[in-house]
Chains A and B, each alone.
Chain A
Amino acid sequence: MPNAVEIHWAWLIPALPALGAFANATIGKKLQDRLGKGAVHGIAVGAMVLSTAVAWAYFAVMLGTPAEDRYLHQTLWPAFAAGSLRVDLAFALDPLSMMMTLVVTNIATLIHVYSIGYMAEEPSYWRFFSYMNLFVFSMLLLVMGSNFVILFFGWEGVGLCSYLLISFWYTDLDKARAGMKAFVVNRFGDFAFIIGLFALMWGLGGSWTGQKSGGLSLRDGYAASAVYAPLHDGATAAEAEAMTPREHGIAVGPTLDFRELRAEILAPETGILTHLKTTTIFGLPLVAFVCILLFGGATGKSAQIPLYVWLPDAMAGPTPVSALIHAATMVTAGVYMVARLNFLFALSPAAMTVVAAVGTLTAIFAAAIGFFQVDIKKVLAYSTVSQLGYMFMGVGVGATWAGCYHLLTHAFFKACLFLGSGSVILACHHEQDMRKMGGLKDHTPITRWTYAVATLAISGFPVAAGFFSKDEILWKTFTTENLAAPWIGPVLWFVGLVAAAGTSFYMWRSYYLTFWSGSYRGGSGHGEHAHGGEEGMHEAHAPRESPVVMTGVLLALAAGAVLASVLGLPSAWGFTPILESFLEPVTSASRDLLHFSEPGRGLELFFMLVSVGVATAGWLVAAWLYKTGENPRPAAWLAKYAGLHRVVFNKFYVDEIYAATILRAAMWVKDVAFWFDVHVIDGLVNFVGVVVRFVANVDGAIDRYVVDGLVNLTAEAVLASGRGLRKLQTGRIENYLMTALAGALAFVAINYLVH
């Protein structure tokens, strides 16, 4: 294992936002009341800026380290341990997490700054910034964690913040519901994720045959025995270390640490690779099982089929949230995770195929839904889902770096698009319906131009970064040999290409509907309460460009979207992609496992032309239909294909299907369970109570009538006999005498008879 560089201040990167969140959560309200909003965003943005500075500093440290040793590591404290399980609260910065950390901190800082303008009217300003900082903290845990548990800390933490921020305006119950939906849907993914994780650990540990034979079984000569071995008395970390089973000097057995996991899987002499490949669980190949479940977690977090349904609803949150969480950072966590575990996914062509195919399907499916959305944020949401599909396509076919590159470029252009949409929404007085916008190019020039640049980037024109990343993914998809069957790659490539055309179309559609298509159609929107009614109506409703804190950020992001091209200029053009070589220490893990065909540079260049061609086609169609706002065809087509439109517009009724199946099943089970509890178990308990009471009554009856009866009977008998005998006492001497005589006679007679 190459050397790791121990660092000491990496904890500052997540800790600063955490501190900011804590400060604003506790004293933010007071600060806001006493010192104004400046104090609140001062804390939040200050924390972000400092955190970003630390991240850049470590980036510098990393660049100063030889490529093979680029693993900056810091352990804070052991979080929990038992038996062979050891989990440290530890951070690791390798090139991949470094890239993610930089993306997160920088984009988040920009969006924080933007929020100063966007949220200026918000009374719960402090709450917003507290949540935002908390989110960044969680996201940084996610990308910086050196093991699965810390990753999962962040994974759930961002889910929580997503929940909090989506339902930020909680007095609107629909928004609250959207937050809950996001959290619960993500929980499905988390469920899959942890099961996959446990299965992986189980696989690494060999099997424990359980109570019957009372011990561990050794399989394949693989040292599984120590898996659940206890730490003996007085165990310390060093002792535990000494007791860790080793094969050829490499620690083996279940480990939650990414680096250790990678080391033991990649070294063939440990035998783990063979072991994993040959192990089955529930009759399925273990690696495929694990990877597909882990990817199941990613489908939740990164909004892929079948769990994407929460993301469009998540647009209920404030727009900076949509930009930060639901476009640039959190939703890419799944991609990050798959990229992080590229060496594991590479072991299973089946899992790779699932990842790539789901990604591709999602890309086209979401693009199709995006065609007809009228809410500008919904368009962007589906576009995000679609772009995430591309990323999964990339990591799924084995082009880890291309997936990550698309992640990076997407962070810029999608953040730019979302923030642009936020700017538009603000200009239109909280109106999100594109049919009520139009003509904004004159009112909001900066927003318009930055939006245009970002749209160029997303739709794949070779002036901006989006083209290079998407094209690399498509090319790798075409040439991949890592999927279950060789024909799958080209098919996915074709679908991806179609989706690219669609992307171009709906993004330009949104651009034209918003900024062109005649003059401003805006009504009052929902803006009255925000602006008050004192100003003149006309003035109040004319769209205005946003303040400079917002437009400045838009410009920065647009610039980023263009300049990020530098990182990945294609090798077909004779460059060496900078990001590819930077990520090499991470992707090298699966280098020997993954293969791509080499059809030649000419074909690659031709495919680039094709990409540009379809993007242009999409653009032209959108321009033709929507630029003037006078083309009657869209409306006519809508009328003609109303049924189809309704199905697509309503997202193929997936939400309704889920509601009718899973939700209803859960509700039914809940009712049954409670009914069971009340009527069967409690019924049983009460029945036992009734039986006991019945027995008690019988018992009482026996007591009263039998036992007491006997006692009373004795008394009664004595009384009755007394009453009877009393009759004999007549007081008449003659009676007595007669009796005495009769007795005497009887005595004589008996005496006589006896003798």
Chain B
Amino acid sequence: MPHLLTYAIFAPLAGSAAIVLLVLLRPLLRLPKEQVDSASRLFALVSSGLSFALTLLLWAQFDGARTGPQFVDHAVWIRGFNIEYFVGADGISIAMIILSGLISFIATIASMPWWVHDDPQHPHFSKRMVPGYLALLLLLQGAMLGVFCALDFFLFYVFWELMLLPMYFLIGIWGGPRKEYAAIKFFLYTLAGSVLMLLAVIGLYYGSRSIPGVPLALADGTPVQHTFNMLALAQLGQRGLFQTLTSLFGYRFDRVVWLALFIGFAIKIPMFPFHTWLPDAHVEAPTPISVILAGVLLKMGGYGILRVNFGILPEATRFFADMIAVFGTINIVYGAFVCLAQKDLKKLIAYSSVSHMGFVLLGMAAFTPQALSGAMLQMWTHGIVSAMLFLIVGVLYDRAHHREIEGFGGLAARVPEYTALMGLAFFASMGLPGLCGFVSEFMVFYGTFAVYQTLVIVSASAVIITASYYLWTIQRMFLGKLNEKYRDLADVNWRERLTLYPLGALSIFFGFYPQAVLDLVNGSLQQMSHVLRGAF
């Protein structure tokens, strides 16, 4: 099936457009509001589901042994600036594309209202301005897929920015009590990153030129002077072009550009000390948005570092590797300790994301194939597990309207199914073998120990802290005497089951057979490991 990726990206965008059109036509057609709401829900489910189905098709057709991009769509977009529409999937992106399709679909399901436990005092966010919400959600989904698929740097940047806007509104309009603060904090943080990235993109563009062996040309064969083509940039970078360019501010060109890009991506990951937007954004965002935020958005940082920093500027990456590893370790340990201090359940999970994304940084810094694959797998598993965790918090928040850990107690007796699901998610996140968090952490440690023994030992000590904060949370919320306030708490409903059980099943499946993902990514990552170690 040709143009598979394009369809996957544009299916949600088309859904979004359809919803907008419907709203515009509403006065003409004299549709009642409820019908527009229902129709836009239907549009959202269909287009998001279609996109997910297409990414699954990608999985089936992807050839993990090849290192180049597959499913390529390549055409000139803006000739004057050598900008192309260039999408494709290789081992670095394929896992993220599929994850993005999956999490988007789950988030769409989670955005549907549930009619049974409706509390008139606290109307559910999914019933306010439904078409607007869903249109933004779909826009976000399309843009996310676009970021992972884009192989033209400009296109990448466009999708990257396109993703920020709906996020800002989704948090700022449908969020919790401090939503404005959170939305603006999120926006400013990521915008700061974007600005640096834009400068770096332009720098790379003007730094690029044809060198022997790497002729630059557009999709139709027109030779050009500069290029946004990421693959061409990667080839130039791997041949050392960017090291020889005029220095900036007295520092080497490639290192300055590297740092600008890295900060942009590190904010997304989020890396200490750029992480404080995350807890606020998570706490205030509505559940499905938290799911997307943790499940996909954070991965863009890791993906960007792999694709851009590592791919295009390997020499500078070698220079900064120690720094990445140190920051990764700080993320892991620091995040874990901060988790221990949290009183708000959602904040705890947000900080645990900080801790777990540290593994991605640590693994990437080691350059060994095991660690790189481990980092990629960690992004995958964290995507699944954190999505599940946020959904689970959402379940409780919808009913109790607060998230204070100390405010519950003994819930296990009242909501056993919920407790079991929460336990599953917690243990998966804790890295218990047999659940998906373990293998990625193991691979990261295994691959990194060859390079940074001390850092691995320090980071591995976080497994103790991680177990402590999760178990302590379970103990405070679920064990002991039932808090009489929650005598009538309802257990999970069918919408929640629809989202939680697939993720739970996946976290067990990938606990025992992570190779399913590794098969997709190993080829490309091992080649990258070769390049990074200067052995190509």
Contacts and interface: CB of A to CB of B under 8 A. Distances in A.
| A contacts B: CB pair < 8 Å | yes
Interface of A: 25, 77-83, 85, 89, 138, 149, 152-157, 160, 163, 167, 170-173, 176-177, 179-180, 183-184, 187-188, 190-191, 194-195, 198-199, 201-202, 205, 207-208, 210-211, 214-215, 227-228, 230-235, 281-282, 666-667, 669-674, 677, 681-682, 684-685, 689
A82 B433 CA distance: 18
B464 A184 contact: yes
A180 B443 contact: no
Interface in B181-224: 185, 188
Given A180-B471, A183-B471, A78 B443 contact: no
Nearest to B518: A80
Contacts of B512: 79, 89
Contact of B460 (A195, A201, A202, A234): A195
A272 to B, nearest CB: 17
Nearest to A194: B460
Interface stretch (B113-121, B146-154, B233-241, B366-374): B366-374
Contact of B479 (A173, A194, A198, A207): A173
13 contacts: A81-B518, A82-B518, A82-B522, A149-B433, A177-B475, A188-B464, A201-B446, A211-B534, A228-B370, A230-B526, A233-B66, A235-B523, A673-B341
Interface stretch (B38-46, B92-100, B449-457): B449-457
Nearest to B457: A195
B71 interface: no
Contacts of A83: 368-370, 373, 447, 526, 529
Interface centre among B66, B513, B515, B529 (most CB of A within 10 A): B515
A298 to B, nearest CB: 17
Contact of B434 (A153, A172, A207): A153
Contacts of B402: none
Contact of A184 (B410, B412, B467, B527): B467
Contact of B526 (A80, A82, A282, A671): A82
B480 A176 contact: yes
Interface string B428-459: 00001110001100110111011101001100
Nearest to A185: B464
Contacts of B292: none
A170 B479 contact: yes
Given A173-B480, A673-B337, A85 B367 contact: no
A263 B321 CA distance: 36
A149 B446 CA distance: 12
B390 interface: no
Interface centre among B272, B276, B513 (most CB of A within 10 A): B276
A685 B185 contact: yes
B439 A79 contact: yes
Given A81-B515, A673-B338, A685-B185, A198 B410 contact: no
B515 A211 contact: no
A188 B468 CA distance: 11
A242 B465 CA distance: 42
Interface in B356-403: 367-370, 372-374, 377
Contacts of B341: 670-671, 673-674
Contacts of A208: 368, 450-451
B326 interface: no
B480 A160 contact: no
Nearest to A232: B526
B433 A156 contact: yes
B463 A79 contact: no
Interface in B271-287: 272-273, 275-276
Interface centre among B374, B447, B472 (most CB of A within 10 A): B447
Interface centre among A25, A138, A163 (most CB of B within 10 A): A163
B17 to A, nearest CB: 36
Nearest to A200: B449
B125 to A, nearest CB: 26
Contacts of A155: 433
Interface centre among A188, A191, A670, A672 (most CB of B within 10 A): A670
Contacts of A233: 65-67, 523
Chain A residues touching B, majority SS: helix
B318 interface: yes
Nearest to A672: B337
Contact of B370 (A82, A163, A183): A82
B535 A215 contact: yes
Contacts of B372: 82
B127 interface: no
A536 B439 CA distance: 59
B318 A191 contact: no
Contacts of B460: 191, 194-195
Contacts of B420: 25
A670 B338 contact: yes
A170 B518 contact: no
A191 B412 CA distance: 29
Interface string B42-67: 00000000000000000000000111
Contacts of A167: 479
Given A210-B451, A211-B321, 5 more contacts: A25-B420, A83-B526, A173-B475, A191-B461, A673-B334
Contacts of B321: 211
Chain B residues touching A, majority SS: helix
Interface centre among A157, A170, A208 (most CB of B within 10 A): A170
Contact of A198 (B67, B456, B474): B456
Contacts of A201: 446, 449
Given A214-B318, A235-B65, A171 B479 contact: yes
A230 B368 CA distance: 9
Given A82-B526, A187-B463, A191-B460, A202 B276 contact: no
Contacts of A673: 334, 337-338, 341
B330 to A, nearest CB: 10
A207 B451 CA distance: 8
Contacts of B342: 674
Nearest to A190: B463
B464 A187 contact: yes
Contacts of B523: 233-235
Given A171-B481, A230-B530, A681-B273, A184 B468 contact: yes
Q: Which 6 A-B pairs have the closest CB atoms?
A: A83-B369, A214-B534, A674-B341, A230-B526, A176-B479, A234-B65
A208 B448 CA distance: 10
A215 B535 CA distance: 7
A211 B468 contact: no
A235 B445 CA distance: 23
Interface centre among A79, A85, A184, A689 (most CB of B within 10 A): A85
Contacts of B442: 149, 194
A670 B340 contact: yes
A171 B480 contact: yes
B491 to A, nearest CB: 12
Contact of A78 (B463, B474, B515, B533): B515
Contacts of A172: 480
A153 B432 CA distance: 8
Given A195-B457, A233-B523, A669-B337, A85 B370 contact: yes
B230 to A, nearest CB: 21
A244 to B, nearest CB: 15
Nearest to B321: A211
Nearest to A227: B450
Contacts of A180: 471-472, 474-475
A609 B135 CA distance: 86
B427 interface: yes
Nearest to B524: A233
B12 interface: no
B284 to A, nearest CB: 15
Contacts of B374: 82
B413 interface: yes
B15 interface: no
A538 B464 CA distance: 50
Interface centre among B367, B370, B413 (most CB of A within 10 A): B370
Contacts of A282: 453
